[in-house]
Amino acid sequence: MTTGNWQLLAVYLVLLTALGWILSYWIEPVMAGRFSWLRQVESPLFRLIGLRTQESHGWLHYTTGLLLFNVLGVFTTYGILRLQNVLPLNPAHLPAVPPGLAFDTAVSFVTNTNWQNYGGETTMSYLAQMSALTTQNFFSAATGLVIAISLIRAMSGESVRHLGNVWIDLARAVLWILIPLSLIFSLALVGQGVIQNLSGYRQVHTLQSTQFSPKIGEVVHSAAAPSNQTIAMGPVASQEAIKLLGTNGGGFFNVNSAHPYENPTALSNFMEMLAIPLISVALVFAFGRMVGDRRQAWALYGAMVVLFLIFTIPTMLFEQQGNPLLTQLHVNQQASALQSGGNMEGKEVRFGPGASALFDTAATATSCGAVNSMLDSYTPLGGAGPLALMQLGEVVFGGVGSGLYGILIYALLAVFVAGLMIGRSPEYLGKKIETFEIKMVSIAILISPLLALLGTALAVLTHAGRSAPLNPGAHGFTEILYALTSAANNNGSAFAGLSADTVFYNVLLGIVMWFGRFGVIVPVLAIAGSLAEKRRLQSGVGTLPTHGPLFAALLVGFILMVGLLNFVPADALGPLAEQFSIASR
């Protein structure tokens, strides 16, 4: 990597850590309701909608409420998309979204996946973007956040039967965390040039139209055929802010954060990279505050950073080295004063390979899925980095809330197995880890790889699945594997090169996204309910310490072994096979 890339990575991690630490001082007391002035504001609203602030829910009630809330979100979003042609704020007169695509999109945005089988500017009206998609960006992020908070309460509580009030938790997450941060960030984006309007699409004339004559090798001007261009407008900044802060990832435009109206400058690109994992990092530090031991948070965060570097550095390295086939043709791909160097296919020149690779690994390390370059154009091993980060289970920073409860699930497994190996009591934060918890941990860990691999197998065994990739061989297989991995882990980024707007893929990906989200959430809340009822035991000589570098290293090992090894055979048929085929040429 270049010196500039090393500096970019270092500054990024330092600022992310500092901002996450600061934000944790807001999240923890807000979700605990300790700010009296906020309670005075929210109390009339809660009374108006009939919420009893003193009511607390057990894990089953909490889970049922979240499931019903999200099912309602699917039906509401689906209805808006199907009726957008007769609803207002549709200046481009776009037709109703087809049923299969509407189903896939509704499930996608409700599950925080934001997988897009469409181009936003050619498919969605302004009303659909704002009232359906952007709204679900807030609600899906709030869902993950409150699950993490309820699990922390269970771990820090002492023989309690309730996890909190699900409706109050959701309201506080949206009102006092997501909306204020999104408002501030959207104004910052507007300052960088991201558009925010309700104007109709602009029809403009280009300066001139040209024709190229291959016979004489020169450009010939033609005044007889003037060139027109349609420039899409819309309320972009408001959706862009929560798309990133909520680790959603669904772009207003088809090319997502590579579009200059979503990401116009190098500074906006760096701001967006910081926004993606910001709340997820802050929740880790809030966890340390809530359990009364900040060393626990640093152990988890240290494991996250190590895993992030393990996959981010090689991705940046391979993209900066460039395409090996071009190297064999003696094409100069070295960075210099005149070029950024590296593999620039599918990348914006204003970002270069380093900032592009860092952006996309930050997005796949979380469950964001936003991209500022096309992963389909990455080198085989460069594209393997983002794919592997998803295959770990979205625990490296992870989505809002889902990253924290995901890595806590691995922490429970690591404590249990390590305790059995060395003859120590399997406890975490003073709570005994027993048979029921490990059963639920196993379900939560295995559901995503099971969905991804079975979905990939179904796709490659059917004509409808095999006909979608635009590339043959190992690269085409990677496109399918990436899509199902992205859906099962609720990431939403696409490898591109896959024509997924078909009945087969809309239905398959929709089902995988739904069970990939709630197949993990239900066992996590069941674990929370079980742990909440247990007494916190005092640590003794037989207790495995979980707050130091040794446990962080153990956790990294378990995540790599359990999370990634499930996918090694499939990866060998995809990016690894493609890399070997290139090397043999």
Greatest mean pLDDT range, 164-173, 213-222, 530-539, 542-551: 164-173
* Cβ neighbours for 283, distance < 8 A, ≥ 6 positions apart: 24, 27, 145, 148, 400, 401, 403, 404
pLDDT digits (tens, 9 = 90+) for 142-196: 999 999 999 999 998 876 778 889 999 999 999 999 999 999 999 999 999 999 9
204 DSSP β-pair partners: 229
DSSP characters over 53-76? TT--B-HHHHHHHHHHHHHHHHHH
User: Is the model's pLDDT at 540 over the cut of 80?
Assistant: no
Report the pLDDT value the prediction gives residue 55, as an integer from 0 to 100.
84
Confidence of residue 327 (pLDDT cuts 50, 70, 90): confident
DSSP character at residue 423: T
CA distance 522 to 524: 5
Alpha-carbon span 234 to 255, nearest angstrom? 15
Q: What whole-number distance in Å separates Cα of residue 108 and Cα of residue 130?
A: 16
Alpha carbons 10 and 60: distance in angstroms, whole number: 43
Exposure on the CB side of residue 118, measured as CA atoms within 13 A: 24
Secondary structure (DSSP) of 312-359: HHHHHHHHHH--HHHHHTT------SS---S--TTB-TTTHHHHHHHH
The residue behind tokens 């679900």 is: 136
Report the candidate in 172, 156, 157, 185 with the shortest Cα–Cα distance to residue 46.
172
For 8-34, b/e burial (b = at least 16 CB within 10 A) is bbeebeeebeebbbebbebbbebbebe
pLDDT, one tens digit per residue, over 413-470 is: 999 998 888 777 789 998 999 999 999 999 999 999 999 999 999 999 999 999 999 8
Q: How many CA atoms lie within 13 A of 369 on its CB side?
A: 33
* In the predicted structure, residue 217 carries a pLDDT above the cut 60: no
**What is the rounded CA–CA span in Å between residue 373 and residue 385?**
14
Rounded alpha-carbon distances, angstroms, from residue 488 to 97, 141, 195, 307: 24, 17, 32, 20
Mean pLDDT computed over 287-303: 95
- The mean predicted confidence, pLDDT, of the chain is 91
- Quote the CA–CA distance of 316 and 2 in Å, as a whole number: 10
| Cα 177 from Cα 371, distance rounded (Å) | 24
pLDDT at 383 over 80: yes
> What token pair was written down for 90?
């549709």
Residue 343 contacts residue 379 (beta carbons within 8 Å): yes
Domain ranges of the chain: 402-583
**Among 46-50, 159-163, 274-278, 578-582, which range has the highest average pLDDT?**
274-278
The DSSP-derived string for 396-412 is: SS-STTHHHHHHHHHHH
What's the CA angle centered on 386, arms 497 and 103, to 5 degrees? 55
Residues 6+ apart with CB under 8 A from 145: 31, 173, 177, 178, 279, 283, 400, 401
Q: Does this model's pTM top 0.85? A: yes
Q: Report the candidate in 400, 485, 364 with the shortest Cα–Cα distance to residue 137.
A: 400
